[in-house]
Amino acid sequence: MEKTIWLGHAAFEMTLNNKKTLIDPRLTGNPKAPLKSADMSDVDYILVTHDHADHGLNDALKIAKRTNATFVSISELSKYASSKGVKNTVGMNIGGVMEADGLNFIMTYAVHSSRLGNPVGFVIKSARSSVYHPGNNALFGDMSIIGRLYHPRVFIVPLVVTTPWVQ
Ligand SMILES: [Zn+2]
């Protein structure tokens, strides 16, 4: 079964190809989170788009260490995770693709800021479905390329778009 569950704020749990992937799993201090990070189990991959606290880096580190999930992020952030004791890390760069378990994890551009490395988004593709989580982002035109290339069935939109002058 393929499904995407919102865990509050920018946190999502996706099951694609029978693998559980978390993205930006801020569960601590997240009033909408249905469970605590200590209760999260059977996690295969954790994607972190950038290191701002509201996107769950601390919870991601805790869950990855406890479950041995693979922590996937921009290179600088994965090195940080490794230095904090996460065993399985994959550092990528924008435009890179990690193939694993019949899934493609594609790292995409994000217009935002971060302390360690560039902020990013991800497209996660299985043979049957695909999800685009753009991380924290501003609206930019090249999102249309991501749509044309990867045809995401689900587009998660944690964007701030302030365009009162557009009609
Ligand atoms: Zn941010």
pLDDT digits (tens, 9 = 90+) for 3-52: 899 999 999 999 999 999 999 999 999 999 999 999 999 999 999 999 99
pLDDT digits (tens, 9 = 90+) for 89-123: 999 999 999 999 999 999 999 999 999 999 999 99
Ligand 1 centre and the CA of 36: distance in Å?
21
- State whether residue 56 is helix, strand or coil: coil
- Kindly list the domain boundaries of the chain, sorted by start residue: 3-160
Domain 3-160: give its CATH code. 3.60.15.10
Q: What is the pTM of this model?
A: 0.93
Distance CA 19, CA 30 (A): 24
| Tens-place pLDDT, residues 134-163 | 999 988 888 899 999 999 999 998 665 566
d(CA 122, CA 14): 12
Q: Which residues contact 100 (CB under 8 A, 6 or more apart)?
A: 45, 70
How buried is residue 67: exposed, middle or buried, by Cβ count under 10 Å (0-12/13-18/19+)? middle
| Ligand 1 centroid – CA 161 distance (Å) | 15
